[in-house]
Amino acid sequence: MTDHAARPVRTVGMLGGGQLGRMMALAGARLGLRCVVLCPDPDSPAFEVAAGHIVAPYEDEAALADLADRVDVVTYEFENVPAATAAFLAARLPVRPGPRSLEVSQDRLAEKTFLAGLGIPTAPFRAVDTLADLQNGLAELGYPAVLKTRRFGYDGKGQAKIGTPGDVVAAFEAMKGAPAILEGWVPFSREISVLTARGLDGRLVTYDVPENEHRQHILKFSRVPSGLAPETEAQARRIGEAVATALEHVGVLAVELFLVETAEGERLVANEIAPRVHNSGHWTESACLVSQFEAHMRAVAGLPLAAPVRHSDVEMENLIGDDARDPERYLGEAGASLHLYGKTEIRPGRKMGHVNRIRPRPRPIG
């Protein structure tokens, strides 16, 4: 849908009230932008720092109309915004990023097809709707492989590794009848991501590429610099910028990438697109002059983007579950910056906060 006529943005509507929305609202406040957050959870972390909030389901049209009346533009902190919600709002005011970014990223089959159409390498993939589809796909792709739901998977949920023929039926049943995609196994050595911001004017800025370390399918550490070969980092930047441009995306997006080492050198394989700020970019809060959150709010408000200058080397650590039971221990740590999300209940696997550990970048010699 064509974006609405430009008008000054003073208030941003936010769909989703989790930690990403919280950090975007905080970043927007520094720019003089007010946020009104709509989320069905009355204990949403973003409510604590927003100028206003609405507790309602995303399908509640009366609540959506109320949001549209109170804000100048709408953005979102998660990609599973219902299509009807996005369409309802887009008929009334700008929604940034636009529907195309949601359409592609909400469905893994559409996402892989889109990436392949741009010439970006992905794992080989096949659509799976029946057990026969899965068996035929495995005959073509071989073992091991990964079966994933096409929609609503995150942090390792909605997927099953298939190592042998004996795993096939259980993996198919684990999808519970949902449309799925079979992906061939990628023998990666490292996981990285690229975060690109695109403005209303089409300007692109891309952050330094972090290396990511996962524990039990949940991101635990992101580190910058990543130690990638310069050409590999340049390739990652090109991928992020190609995706943002093709989607006509407005805001920040992340592309998760696998690094594969071959006899011919390093090769990148795209895993997933996140059409929003991303956990692997939390380090930008402490190590950059303009964080990913501020870059996103600038973009959706039609404000100029800035070069993502990184002043420090950094390691971001997610505080997951019990990691957050004694947050005070991080407060006296030299070079550490603690961000707690305000979640009242600690649960296994729940992201409760993060710590950024920075150290000055070494000065070039000469």
The pLDDT tens digits of the residues spanning 214-243 come to: 999 899 999 999 999 999 999 999 999 999
Q: Which of 170, 213, 171 is nearest to 190 (CA)?
A: 213
CA distance linking residue 217 with residue 209, whole number of Å: 20
Instruction: Return residue ranges of the chain for CATH 3.30.1490.20.
Output: 124-184
Q: Which of 205, 201, 254 is nearest to 79 (CA)?
A: 254
Give the contacts of 177 (CB within 8 A, at least 6 positions apart): none
Q: What dotted CATH number matches 11-95?
A: 3.40.50.20
CA distance linking residue 15 with residue 35, whole number of Å: 10
Report, as ranges of residue numbers, the positions in the chain whose pLDDT lies below 70: 1-7, 153-156, 364-366
Q: Can you name the residues that pair with 339 across neighbouring β-strands?
A: 354
Amino acid, res. 228: L
Provide the residue count of the chain. 366
Q: Which of 270, 306, 273, 266 is nearest to 288 (CA)?
A: 306
DSSP SS3 for 204:
strand
Q: Give the CA angle between residues 110, 115, 118 to the nearest 5°.
A: 130
Provide the 8-state DSSP code for 301: T
CATH topology of domain 124-184: Dna Ligase; domain 1 (3.30.1490)
Give Rg (Cα) of the chain: 20
Cβ atoms of 313 and 225 within 8 Å: the answer is yes
CA distance linking residue 301 with residue 10, whole number of Å: 8
Q: Give the CA angle between residues 141, 234, 271 to the nearest 5°.
A: 30
Amino acid, res. 46: A
Q: Where are the beta strands (DSSP E) in the chain?
A: 11-15, 34-39, 52-55, 73-76, 125-128, 145-149, 159-162, 180-184, 190-198, 204-206, 211-215, 218-224, 251-262, 265-274, 312-320, 336-340, 351-360
Residue 41 tokens read as: 């959870």
Question: CA neighbours within 13 Å on the CB side: how many for 236?
Answer: 31
Alpha-carbon 196 to chain mean position: 11
Residue 68 tokens read as: 């549209």
pLDDT value, residue 1: 41
Provide the 8-state DSSP code for 62: H
pLDDT value, residue 211: 98
CA distance linking residue 88 with residue 309, whole number of Å: 37
Instruction: Return residue ranges of the chain for CATH 3.40.50.20.
Output: 11-95
Class of domain 190-360: alpha beta
Sort residue 222 into left (φ over 0), alpha (ψ -120 to 50) or beta.
beta
Provide the 8-state DSSP code for 148: E
Cβ atoms of 166 and 212 within 8 Å: the answer is no
Residue 157 burial (CB < 10 Å; 0-12/13-18/19+)? exposed
Write down the number of H helices and E strands in the chain. Answer: 11, 17
Cβ atoms of 210 and 192 within 8 Å: the answer is yes
Q: Which of 165, 130, 128, 161 is nearest to 146 (CA)?
A: 161
Strands 11-15 and 73-76 come out as parallel
Q: What is the pTM of this model?
A: 0.93
Q: Locate tokens 């953005």: which residue?
A: 75
pLDDT value, residue 5: 47
Instruction: Return residue ranges of the chain for CATH 3.30.470.20.
Output: 190-360
